[in-house]
Chains A and B, each alone.
Chain A
Amino acid sequence: MIEISDVSKSYGRTAVLRGCTAAVKRGEVVVVCGPSGSGKSTLIKCVNGLVPFDSGAIRVDGVSVGDKATDLPALRARIGMVFQNFELYPHMTALQNVSLAQIHVLKRSRTEADTKSRQLLARVGLADKLASRPDQLSGGQQQRVSIARALAMDPQAMLFDEPTSALDPEMVNEVLEVMQALALDGMTMMVVTHEMGFAQRVADRVLFMDGGEILEDTPKAAFFAHPSTDRARQFLAKVLSH
């Protein structure tokens, strides 16, 4: 579904990605972890072309992301993305946030889009918040709206960029539960997160990144039981100790 081969990128002289190679198969959940500044977010943003990369190739469902001839908006419409800071449209209600791209990208009628949006908002537990604007919602609720907004496009894969990092601790679980349900439904997911509990419960494989490199690409059980690199061991010791 997602194939990343030998992708490198640098900002000026700083290399942020060095020869990254990885793949996410259809229906698989892959968690990307690593210390801050390791390039995880950059890598995931390369997948839907939000961040251009310098060399290598990324193919999503057979379509080359870096190719100039690729219709990126059309490709992005098929990949949902959830951001760390929710990034909801503050001048629109929850319902309008979820309906907007359905109407303008998928050309659904407003009624059709709103029906779909209502179903999705109910699915993430927000059936009673349709008319609320983002500033009337808690962080956890906003993040669930943004998941609904991504799902509204009937995506073939979902990218999550630290979806719980900006949340108060008591709201983390409500978002993780929605993501877990999504994984159980068979959604292809690539998740950048520090939530190792989520990785242990839901992930098929874990990618560990440091210094712009993918140091480990291991099945979940193996990664947590005996990581093969020292840096991954140190990282796990730090994040699992509390």
Chain B
Amino acid sequence: MNYRWNWEILLQEPYWSWIWSGLEWTLLISLSSWCVALVVGTLFGIARTASNRAVRAAADIYVGLFRNVPPLVQLFLWYSVFPEVLPEALGLWVKRDMPSPQFVTAAVAIGLFMAARVAEQVRAGIGAVGLRLLPAALATGLRPWQAYRLILLPLGLRAITKPLTSEFLITVKMSSIALTIGVLELTAESRHIENYTFQGFEAFGVATLIYLLLGLGVTGVMSLVDRYFGGDKLRRGDR
């Protein structure tokens, strides 16, 4: 192979700053879409275990829709189509005038896609360890929302910290699709460097390493969270 390796180039300006800024956007998109996914996903996950049939059906529709349309298509829909169906002034604001429209769109689109997956995990977690306790909780006079907040949700979330870790990891990697609507995150910046320097192997090599480290970091943090809340003990002790 006639490739001339040149790792030093990545330490030179502006390439170093490009990687750094790409990493910042990747982190920003990953974390904000994960927050959206957790909040929205938990709400829909709870709704999927509700006794009210209409609430359950609405949540089923959400999950069915957002889980089955390719995330890339969803991103395009949110970016190109969604502003057009809004009233004109609002559409213009979403497209152009709100702060960092591409970033916000990417975070929301990825977040809502991931929320459908998280909802499914939350539903499974509540069903596996919590739902059995609902009659007992209600019998003490707790209202349904209190039973969910104090018992079903804490137990359900403890049961699923491991699969939620996988969902978090998918979110981090999914952040790279934001490049298709022009967010210069890590993958986009690597490609950017390749175009300028023809040292694509180095650029993507570093990006790969950074994704790997981010992933290991997420895994580590999530197992600390799991241990702190005693999820492993609870899973072993569950009858």
Q: Interface residues, chain A, CB within 8 Å of chain B?
A: 45, 48, 50, 73-74, 76-81, 83, 87-91, 100-101, 104-106, 133, 135, 146, 149-150, 153
Q: Interface residues, chain B, CB within 8 Å of chain A?
A: 129, 132-133, 135-143, 146, 150-151, 154-155, 158, 229-230, 234, 237-238
B-side interface mostly: helix
- Could you show 17 A-B contacts with beta carbons less than 8 Å apart? A45-B135, A73-B141, A73-B143, A76-B139, A76-B140, A77-B140, A77-B141, A81-B140, A87-B135, A88-B136, A90-B237, A91-B155, A91-B158, A104-B146, A133-B237, A146-B136, A153-B140
Complex: chain A residue closest to B158, CB-CB? A91
- Set of chain A residues within 8 Å of B234, measured between Cβ atoms: 90-91
- Set of chain A residues within 8 Å of B151, measured between Cβ atoms: 89
New contact pairs (8) apart from A83-B135, A87-B135, A91-B158, CB-CB < 8 Å: A83-B139, A87-B132, A90-B129, A100-B142, A100-B150, A101-B141, A106-B141, A153-B141
B135:A73 contact, CB within 8 angstroms: no
Partner of A74, one of B141, B158, B238: B141
A87:B133 contact, CB within 8 angstroms: yes
B158:A76 contact, CB within 8 angstroms: no
Q: How far is the CA of A182 from the CA of B2 in the complex (A)?
A: 88
The 6 closest A-B pairs by CB, nearest first: A77-B141, A87-B136, A135-B237, A101-B140, A81-B139, A105-B141
A73:B230 contact, CB within 8 angstroms: no
- Set of chain B residues within 8 Å of A48, measured between Cβ atoms: 139
B133:A149 contact, CB within 8 angstroms: no
A73:B138 contact, CB within 8 angstroms: yes
- Set of chain A residues within 8 Å of B143, measured between Cβ atoms: 73
- Set of chain B residues within 8 Å of A80, measured between Cβ atoms: 139
Distance to closest chain A CB from B46 (angstroms)? 17
Complex: chain A residue closest to B146, CB-CB? A104
A50:B158 contact, CB within 8 angstroms: no
- Set of chain B residues within 8 Å of A76, measured between Cβ atoms: 138-141
- Set of chain A residues within 8 Å of B133, measured between Cβ atoms: 87, 89
Partner of A101, one of B132, B135, B142, B230: B142
Q: How far is the CA of A234 from the CA of B66 in the complex (A)?
A: 59
Complex: chain B residue closest to A78, CB-CB? B141
- Set of chain A residues within 8 Å of B154, measured between Cβ atoms: 91
- Set of chain B residues within 8 Å of A149, measured between Cβ atoms: 140
Distance to closest chain B CB from A96 (angstroms)? 10
A104:B150 contact, CB within 8 angstroms: yes
Distance to closest chain B CB from A200 (angstroms)? 28
A50:B138 contact, CB within 8 angstroms: yes
Distance to closest chain B CB from A172 (angstroms)? 19
- Set of chain B residues within 8 Å of A79, measured between Cβ atoms: 139
B142:A105 contact, CB within 8 angstroms: yes
Complex: chain B residue closest to A146, CB-CB? B136
Q: How far is the CA of A87 from the CA of B151 in the complex (A)?
A: 11
Q: How far is the CA of A45 from the CA of B138 in the complex (A)?
A: 12
